[in-house]
C-alpha cells in the first residue's frame, strides 16, 4: 500500500473524521461530537492519527498517552478498505508514537460484541486481559 499516507489530524479534519466514524467505527462514545474531538486535538495535536489513500480518509486511530499509560481508541478502517494493511499501518504509527514518548505498554478499548475489531486487535499482537474490568462514570450528558 505505497500510496497510503499516515498523518496527524488537524482542526480542519474533524468534521470528516466524525462523519467517517459513523460509517467505519463500531459503537459510539459520549465524546463523539465536534467539541470532544476538538478538545482531543487541542490537548494533544498528534493523538488523532489518520490514514488517507488518494486523498480519501480510510482509517483512524486515537493514540493517547497520559504520561503513564498508552491508550488506543477508535481504530477504524472504512468497510470497503479493510484487510489491506491500513489498520496495521495505523497501529504501527501509534506504537511508534508511544515508544518515542517513553510508553511501555499499549491498551485498547474494544467492545465485547465487536468481533471484527477483536480479530483486528489480535492480528496486531494485542490480547484481552480477562482479569481487568472497565469501570465508568459519565461526567456529562451525551450531546444530542
Q: Partners of 63 in the beta sheet?
A: 72
Residue 137, pLDDT > 70, answer yes
pLDDT, position 139: 83
Question: Each residue of 62-96: pLDDT tens digit?
Answer: 999 999 999 999 999 999 999 999 999 999 999 99
Whole-prediction pTM value?
Answer: 0.90
Q: What average pLDDT does the structure give for the chain?
A: 90
Q: d(Cα 8, Cα 48) in Å, to the nearest integer?
A: 6
| Distance from the Cα of residue 14 to its chain's centroid | 13
Residue 36, pLDDT > 80, answer yes
Count CB atoms within 10 A of the CB of residue 33: 16
Count CB atoms within 10 A of the CB of residue 60: 25
Amino acid at each position: 500500500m505505497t500510496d497510503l499516507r499516515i498523518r496527524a489530524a488537524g482542526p480542519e479534519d474533524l468534521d470528516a473524521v466524525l462523519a467517517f466514524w459513523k460509517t467505519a467505527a463500531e459503537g459510539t462514545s459520549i465524546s463523539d461530537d465536534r467539541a470532544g474531538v476538538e478538545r482531543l486535538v487541542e490537548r494533544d495535536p498528534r493523538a488523532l492519527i489518520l490514514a488517507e489513500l488518494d486523498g480519501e480518509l480510510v482509517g483512524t486511530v486515537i493514540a493517547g498517552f497520559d504520561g503513564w499509560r498508552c491508550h488506543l481508541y477508535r481504530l477504524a478502517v472504512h468497510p470497503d478498505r479493510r484487510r489491506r494493511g491500513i489498520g496495521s499501518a495505523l497501529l504501527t504509527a501509534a506504537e511508534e508514537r508511544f515508544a518515542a514518548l517513553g510508553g511501555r505498554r499499549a491498551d485498547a478499548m474494544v467492545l465485547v460484541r465487536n468481533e471484527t475489531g477483536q480479530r483486528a486487535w489480535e492480528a496486531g499482537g494485542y490480547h484481552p486481559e480477562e482479569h481487568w474490568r472497565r469501570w465508568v462514570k459519565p461526567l456529562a450528558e451525551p450531546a444530542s
